[in-house]
Structures are given as C-alpha cells and as structure tokens.
C-alpha cells in the first residue's frame, strides 16, 4: 500500500514538474468568495483584504525551497502536491490553522502554502506523554519578506476553504 | 493521550524499567536503550522536567525564567522549550512558552510560541511576531474566555499572543509547567531555568497555586535534566547544561 502510494505520488510529481516546466503554473481566480477569518467571540469580523495578485515569479522558487525543507523536516520529502497563495494573514490562518488566530492577524499579506502527503512532526513541542502529530495536510503561512514561517498546521482533514477562495493559486514544483 | 500519561506517571515511581514493559511506555525497552543517548526521536519521544497536577480546569498560569535556553543551529531536528501546558479531556491541549532550536518553522532563538490540538482539528503551532524573550521573568497564561474560546497571554509584554477557539472545558484536565528538550546532553543544548507561581483556574473562576497537589517528574528516553519542585512557591526548577 505504501509502495503503491509512493509510486502514484512519483507520477503525480512528474506531472506537476512537467506542467511547471520552469515556470510556475499560476491560475487567476476570482477572489469574490474570500472567507473572513473567525474570531474568538464568534462574531463576524471585518473581511481581511485579499490581494489580487499572484505570487511573484521571483519568489516561487524560494517559496518552493521553504516548502520542500518543511516537508522533509516533517517526514515526507516528496509531497503529492504543493500549492500556495498570496493572501491576507487573516484569511490565511482560517485555512492554515482553522479556529486559531493571533491578534496580529490582519490585512498584511503573507504566503499560505498547503502540502499534501504523509507528515509527522517529530520536533514540535507536545505535552508529556503525547505522540508526535501526524497528518496528510501540512499548511503554513510565510512572511513575504523574510519567508519565515509564522503559523503551521498539520491535520488529516483538508483545509476548510479552497485556496482559490482567498487568492490566486500557484502550484509549486514541490 | 493524557489519560495514558497519568497512568504512566504512576508507573514512574516504580521505575523506568517497569515503565518500559508496562505497555503505557512510549517505547519498548530496546527502543529506550537505543534512544537513551539523544532524548530526541522522530516519533515524539521527548524528554521533560516538569511539575504537573491533574485537575479539571479552565486555565493555567506560570512565570517563566529561562536563565539558559539555546540550541545550536547545526541541528536539523531538535529544540528545547520552557513552557506551560493546559490539558483538557485527557487528549486535547494548549501550550505556550519560549523555544530555541529547530522547530516546525525552522530555527528559533528564545522565540515565543503557542500551539494547540483541539477536538476535530489537528496540531496547530504559532510563532507570534513579538520580540524574543530575554532572561527575565515572564508571565504566561492560557485561560478560558467563554464560548469555547481560550486566550493565550505571553510575550515580553504579557499580552494576548493567540486565540484558540472551538475547545470546550473538559470534564478532566491537567496543568503542567517545565521544560521539554529534544537533544542529547552533548548536543550543545543549554537549558536552565524555572517556572514559578504555577496556578490553575477552577471552573468557578478561582485561581489556585499548584502547591502540594503537584508532582515533579523527570522522564523521557535518556533524560538527563533533573528538576526540583518547591511546593511552597509552586515552582519547578531545573538545572541542565548552561
């Protein structure tokens, strides 16, 4: 089963790489469906601004490297898919870490990266006695300047909102 | 997870060998021997020195003094934290504190973080955009604010650094404070500090010092940092490499 999965993954990656062919595949989609981030009180907050632009081509290579480093450190160096959007931090955390938020979350633009694979976070802090978190969807937000990861999530469930609903999707080579 | 943890706590007093064969242990005896030199494991077998009390609660509080807290940048998988944990229903939790070393986000140096694992969700970790912690005494608090939401206070200015929602107060709980480390004694790790004035909040809103209700624990595969719990001040102190 694992071997079959790996084989399928390799085919998928080959396809993605072929499609990318040296340039990121950028799909411009409507941002009309942008979701507002949740708040602690459950009241409807102001909808964060959603950038209309795609991730700059000069950044996609670096962002892909960050994604691969993170995937490798999380136990899966060959994720089946890697997608990213440029969006507001407020919108990004609703996808990356739904239910969690930070006061600083705002309209400031970040990159949101979503990877699909088989991940284990062996080096993150957990309570005494807890197992290392595992999951199939690794998500993280990245500061646009430093490319430092700000928020990171790992879940067995797909993000609650489609990436295209919060920004123009870029498929990274992975 | 937390229920297993509590059972394991009881077993700890019998001895580590007994723990290893109990079935509640995090690894088989052979694995423990293999991992004894590292305290680091890709499957989460980390080491701890901490104070802990098992009680239904809606909040945890502590004051972190990270006298020495660093980890070499050359590691790709290890880190150290000084932090508090608030556990709910034996399997969910919120944690907050300061970390150094390689985390899920890359390399950190005395960086504030918080994380949670809530019903119906996965593991989420956050690195707020606040200044790195110094060597002073910093308050950190995780507490219920109603409507299944929790606030996380921390940072050098003791402000809200995170909001965790969709997590009700459980019928059981744990409050823990201490250090979690994931590297061998010779890894270059520095970890010396304390968490004082540890408190838990009852469901009636009253805060209580852990006091005599807490127990002190040092454990993990090959643990080498030994702590001491002073119940009169509800303080866990540990003296690792520095």
Question: Best mutation site among B1, B64, B105 for testing chain A: the one with the most A CBs within 10 Å?
Answer: B105
pLDDT of B18: 32
Number of CB pairs, chain A paired with chain B, less than 8 A apart: 176
Q: What is the CATH number of domain B2-239?
A: 2.60.120
Smallest CA-to-CA distance from A35 within A73, A88, A114 is with A88
Per-residue pLDDT tens over the stretch B83-134: 999 999 999 999 999 999 988 888 999 999 999 999 999 999 999 989 999 9
Closest CB to B87 among A125, A127, A131: A127
Does the pLDDT value for residue A1 go beyond 60? no
Secondary structure tally for chain B: helices H, strands E: 3, 15
Closest CB to A152 among B48, B125, B167: B125
Specify the residue for token string 């399928």: A8
Per-residue pLDDT tens over the stretch B67-93: 999 999 987 678 999 999 999 999 999
Per-residue pLDDT tens over the stretch A118-158: 999 988 999 998 989 999 999 999 999 999 999 999 999 99
Under a CB-based contact definition with an 8 Å cutoff, are residues B219 and B47 in contact? Answer: yes
B207 exposed, middle or buried (CB, 10 Å; 0-12, 13-18, 19+)?
A: middle
pLDDT of B101: 93
More confident residue, A39 or B60: B60
| Contact state of B124 with A157 under an 8 Å Cβ cutoff | no
Under a CB-based contact definition with an 8 Å cutoff, are residues A89 and A97 in contact? Answer: no
Instruction: Classify A129 in phi/psi space as left (phi over 0), alpha (psi -120 to 50) or beta.
Output: left
| Contact state of A125 with B129 under an 8 Å Cβ cutoff | no
Instruction: Classify A161 in phi/psi space as left (phi over 0), alpha (psi -120 to 50) or beta.
Output: beta
Closest B-chain CA to A152: B125
Give the rounded percent of residues in chain A with a pLDDT score beyond 90.
59
pLDDT tens, residue order, chain B (242 aa): 443 444 444 334 333 333 332 333 333 322 333 334 478 765 567 999 999 999 999 999 999 999 999 999 987 678 999 999 999 999 999 999 999 998 888 899 999 999 999 999 999 999 998 999 999 999 999 999 999 999 999 999 999 999 999 999 999 999 999 999 998 888 899 999 999 999 999 999 999 999 999 999 999 988 999 999 999 999 999 999 99
Closest Cα in chain A, distance from residue B206 (Å): 22
B30 touches A at CB < 8 Å: no
A140 touches B at CB < 8 Å: yes
Question: Best mutation site among A69, A127, A157 for testing chain B: the one with the most B CBs within 10 Å?
Answer: A127
Q: State how beta strands B159-164 and B190-201 pair.
A: unpaired
Chain A contact set for B1 (CB, 8 A) = 127, 129-131
B170 CB neighbour count, 10 Å cutoff: 18
pLDDT of B159: 96
pLDDT of B184: 86
pLDDT of A52: 57
Q: Give the pLDDT band of residue A105 (cuts 50, 70, 90).
A: low
Domain span holding position A151? 2-171
Under a CB-based contact definition with an 8 Å cutoff, are residues B183 and B190 in contact? Answer: no
B155 touches A at CB < 8 Å: no
Q: Give the pLDDT band of residue A32 (cuts 50, 70, 90).
A: very low
Closest Cα in chain B, distance from residue A151 (Å): 4
Chain B contact set for A123 (CB, 8 A) = 40, 42, 77-79, 102-104, 182
Q: How many CA atoms lie within 13 A of A147 on its CB side?
A: 14
Average pLDDT, integer, range A18-38: 31
B235 touches A at CB < 8 Å: no
Specify the residue for token string 């979350």: A105
Q: State how beta strands A100-101 and B159-164 pair.
A: antiparallel
Under a CB-based contact definition with an 8 Å cutoff, are residues A174 and A153 in contact? Answer: no
> Taking the domains of chain B in order of start, what are their residue ranges?
2-239
Specify the residue for token string 């004035």: B197
CA distances from B164 to A94, A102, A103, A113, A143 (A): 12, 9, 11, 21, 21
pLDDT of B20: 31
Instruction: State the complex-level ipTM.
Output: 0.85
| Contact state of B121 with A74 under an 8 Å Cβ cutoff | no
pLDDT of B163: 96
Closest Cα in chain A, distance from residue B66 (Å): 16
Strand runs (DSSP E) across chain B, as ranges? 47-54, 59-70, 79-88, 92-103, 106-117, 123-126, 137-146, 149-154, 159-164, 173-181, 190-201, 207-209, 215-219, 227-230, 235-239
Under a CB-based contact definition with an 8 Å cutoff, are residues A71 and A33 in contact? Answer: no
Name every residue whose Cβ is closer than 8 Å to that of residue A64 and which is 6 or more positions away in sequence.
A82, A172, A173, A174
Instruction: Classify A45 in phi/psi space as left (phi over 0), alpha (psi -120 to 50) or beta.
Output: beta
Cα gap A100→B125, rounded to integer Å: 9
A126 touches B at CB < 8 Å: yes
Structure tokens at A134: 């595992």
pLDDT of B41: 60
Number of domains in chain A: 1
Under a CB-based contact definition with an 8 Å cutoff, are residues B155 and B130 in contact? Answer: yes
Structure tokens at B153: 């206070």
Cα gap B116→A133, rounded to integer Å: 11
| Contact state of B104 with A70 under an 8 Å Cβ cutoff | yes
pLDDT of B78: 86
Smallest CA-to-CA distance from B213 within B44, B89, B92, B52 is with B52
Would you tell me which residues 81-110 of chain A have a C-beta closer than 8 angstroms to some C-beta of chain B?
Answer: 96-104
| Contact state of B93 with A103 under an 8 Å Cβ cutoff | no
């Amino acid at each position: 089963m694992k071997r079959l999965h790996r084989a399928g993954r390799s085919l998928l990656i080959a396809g993605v790489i072929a499609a990318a062919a040296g340039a990121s595949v950028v799909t411009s989609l409507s941002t009309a469906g942008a979701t507002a981030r949740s708040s602690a009180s459950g009241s409807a907050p102001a909808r964060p601004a959603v950038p209309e632009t795609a991730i700059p081509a000069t950044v996609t290579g670096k962002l892909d490297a960050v994604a691969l480093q993170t995937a490798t450190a999380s136990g899966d160096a060959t994720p089946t898919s890697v997608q990213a959007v440029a969006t507001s931090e407020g919108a990004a955390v609703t996808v990356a870490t739904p239910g969690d938020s930070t006061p600083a979350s705002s309209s400031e633009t970040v990159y949101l990266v979503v990877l699909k694979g088989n991940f284990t976070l062996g080096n993150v802090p957990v309570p005494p006695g807890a197992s290392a978190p595992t999951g199939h969807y690794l998500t993280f937000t990245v500061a646009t300047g430093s490319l430092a990861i700000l928020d990171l999530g790992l879940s067995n469930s797909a993000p609650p909102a489609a990436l295209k609903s919060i920004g123009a999707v870029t498929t990274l080579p992975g | 997870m937390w229920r297993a943890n509590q059972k394991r706590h009881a077993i700890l007093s019998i001895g580590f060998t007994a723990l290893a064969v109990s079935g509640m242990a995090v690894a088989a005896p052979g694995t423990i021997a293999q991992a004894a030199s590292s305290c680091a494991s890709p499957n989460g077998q980390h080491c701890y020195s901490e104070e802990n009390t098992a009680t239904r609660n809606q909040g945890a509080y502590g004051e972190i003094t990270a006298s020495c807290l660093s980890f070499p940048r050359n590691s790709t998988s290890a880190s150290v934290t000084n932090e508090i944990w608030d556990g709910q229903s034996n399997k969910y939790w919120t944690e907050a504190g300061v970390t150094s070393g390689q985390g899920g986000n890359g390399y950190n140096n005395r960086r504030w973080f918080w994380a949670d694992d809530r019903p119906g969700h996965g593991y989420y970790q956050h690195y707020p955009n606040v200044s790195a912690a110094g060597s002073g005494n910093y308050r950190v608090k995780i507490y219920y604010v109603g409507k299944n939401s929790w606030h996380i206070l921390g940072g050098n200015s003791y402000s809200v650094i995170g909001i965790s929602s969709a997590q009700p107060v459980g019928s059981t709980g744990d409050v823990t404070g201490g250090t979690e480390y994931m590297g061998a004694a010779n890894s270059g790790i520095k970890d010396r500090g304390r968490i004082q004035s540890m408190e838990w909040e009852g469901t009636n809103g009253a805060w209580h010092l852990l006091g005599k209700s807490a127990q002190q624990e040092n454990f993990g595969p090959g643990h080498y940092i030994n702590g001491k719990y002073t119940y009169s001040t509800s303080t866990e102190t540990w003296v690792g490499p520095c």
